[in-house]
Structure 1
Amino acid sequence: MPREDRFFDLFAQHSRTVVGAAEALNQLLAGSEIERHCETIVRLENEADEITREVLLAIRRSFITPFDRGDIKDLIQSMDDAIDMMQKTVKTIRLFQQNSFDPGMQEMGAAIVQAAHLIAEAIPLLDRIGSNAPRLTAIAEEVTRVEGHSDDLHDQGLKDLFSRYGASNPMAYIIGSEIYGELEKVVDRFEDVANEISGIVIENV
């Protein structure tokens, strides 16, 4: 029977895959070794899926869980959704054979790394929710601010794309807007994780 701390080990493992994928995506958007970073993200996404399956299996097998089973499931699945969205972004980049990216996309890559590190900081704090509640709440609020900034970058990026390509090169506009949209969805998924963490804090303090 899995011990309670097994869940936190698995959460930490998953969080490391998410951070690794976020950093690879950021490097990719900087134009550095694009295909190698794409491969890294795909590999880490597969690892994350396996860890998610382990967590779901542990939920079924454990007599005692550190907090509500439904919350554990929702937390790991929201984390997995974030790295899944990174992998979808990679598919789009490969499909359209993109090898250079707008400054706004690069800034969104930095925002994704920031959000990933904030979530990575929060995960081990869930082992002592009561004493760590103030910091967990602050992290969730910071992720929300990152998401708001990302929204602004997304909107400005679309405006810039339209100014450059709207009439002269519609396909470039479509491809660019697709990548901006997927990057924004990555940050949205991190906000979902932050919301799950906030809910766990509320229920357990």
Structure 2
Amino acid sequence: MTPRTAPFVDALAGLAVLVHKGTLTVRDTLGVGMLERGGELERLRVLHREAERGRTELLDLARESFVTPFDRGDIHQLTVALAEVLTHLERAVDGGIRQRIDDPPEGTAKLIDALIQMAELTAQTLPKLHVLADVASYPVEMRRLGVRADQARRELLTDALSRRADPLGALRVTLVIEELTAAIHDLERVATVVEGIVVKES
């Protein structure tokens, strides 16, 4: 990496690692009691604070640098989207605790697994952002994972909303699912921005 590229790529890669850790933390909340979930929520809050610090430092770097390796708008979008993933993950776990969802519906693990795979792929890809040929296939793979995630989401919502005997419970579950979905959409946005960088820099 060139001296002007390294700080940006390293910072974005660091944010992606925090996001991956966050998705693993969400997975660890499945099948555990409320007390254990409280501990995982605190872990997510720590990751979220780290991501917000990284976001501020990266945007300051972009603002103060005379030359940036990529379009400043693209750097801003990548930074914000990565940080927002952790915002939604924290809200999902916090919502599950506040809504007292004791047993996540069947299929939640499938949605979270797709989310983890998207975060893991992102964490593996962003360190290679200085060699655009190495990241060209990333958006395609993310779209494939996004289709899987969307299918899992639709199945979960169908299952939740079919419980006519407990409409309030269905609403509570839906709110949590939508936060996880928002995290997935932010990761998809990262892939779209990377795709745009590849096209513009080709």
Which TM-score applies when normalising by structure 2? 0.91
Unpaired runs of 5+ in structure 2?
A: none
Pick one of 185, 193, 196 that aligns with 1:196. 193
The structure richer in helix per residue is: 1
1:14 lines up with 2:15 in the alignment: yes
Residues 155-166 of structure 1 aligned to structure 2 (within 5 Å): 155-163=154-162, 165-166=163-164
> AA paired with 1:10?
A
Question: Residue in 1 aligned with 2:176?
Answer: 179
C-alpha separation in 2, matches of 1:183 and 1:69: 28
> AA paired with 2:7?
R
With over 3 angstroms needed to count, the CA separation of the structure-2 counterparts of 1:97 and 1:194, relative to structure 1, is: same
User: Residues 92 and 179 of structure 1 are in contact (CA less than 8 Å); yes or no, is this contact kept in structure 2?
Assistant: yes
User: Residues 29 and 109 of structure 1 are in contact (CA less than 8 Å); yes or no, is this contact kept in structure 2?
Assistant: no
1:65 lines up with 2:64 in the alignment: no
Question: Residue in 1 aligned with 2:148?
Answer: 149
- How far is 1:124 from its partner? 1.0
SS in 2 for 1:20: helix
Q: Which moved more, 1:152-161 or 1:19-28?
A: 152-161
User: How big is the alpha-carbon RMSD for the aligned residues of Structure 1 and Structure 2?
Assistant: 1.6
C-alpha separation in 2, matches of 1:59 and 1:85: 25
For 1:90-143, what per-residue CA distance to the aligned partner results, in whole angstroms no more than 9, with x for missing partners? 2311221223212211111111110001111110111122x32xxx23221111
With over 3 angstroms needed to count, the CA separation of the structure-2 counterparts of 1:30 and 1:146, relative to structure 1, is: farther
> AA paired with 1:67?
F
User: Residues 58 and 79 of structure 2 are in contact (CA less than 8 Å); yes or no, is this contact kept in structure 1?
Assistant: yes
- How far is 1:29 from its partner? 2.7
- Greater than 6 Å deviation, 4+ residue runs: none
Residues 40-119 of structure 1 aligned to structure 2 (within 5 Å): 40-119=43-122
- How far is 1:160 from its partner? 1.5
Residues 25-44 of structure 1 aligned to structure 2 (within 5 Å): 25-31=26-32, 33-44=36-47
Percent sequence identity is 25
- How far is 1:3 from its partner? 4.5
User: Residues 52 and 80 of structure 1 are in contact (CA less than 8 Å); yes or no, is this contact kept in structure 2?
Assistant: yes
C-alpha separation in 2, matches of 1:103 and 1:184: 16
C-alpha separation in 1, matches of 2:128 and 2:179: 29
SS in 2 for 1:160: helix
C-alpha separation in 1, matches of 2:201 and 2:53: 28
For 1:23-48, what per-residue CA distance to the aligned partner results, in whole angstroms no more than 9, with x for missing partners? 00111134373222111111101110
Which TM-score applies when normalising by structure 1? 0.90
Q: How many residues are paired up? A: 198
For 1:168-193, what per-residue CA distance to the aligned partner results, in whole angstroms no more than 9, with x for missing partners? 11111111111222222211111111
> AA paired with 2:5?
E
With over 3 angstroms needed to count, the CA separation of the structure-2 counterparts of 1:31 and 1:141, relative to structure 1, is: farther
C-alpha separation in 2, matches of 1:121 and 1:97: 35
Question: Residue in 2 aligned with 1:23?
Answer: 24
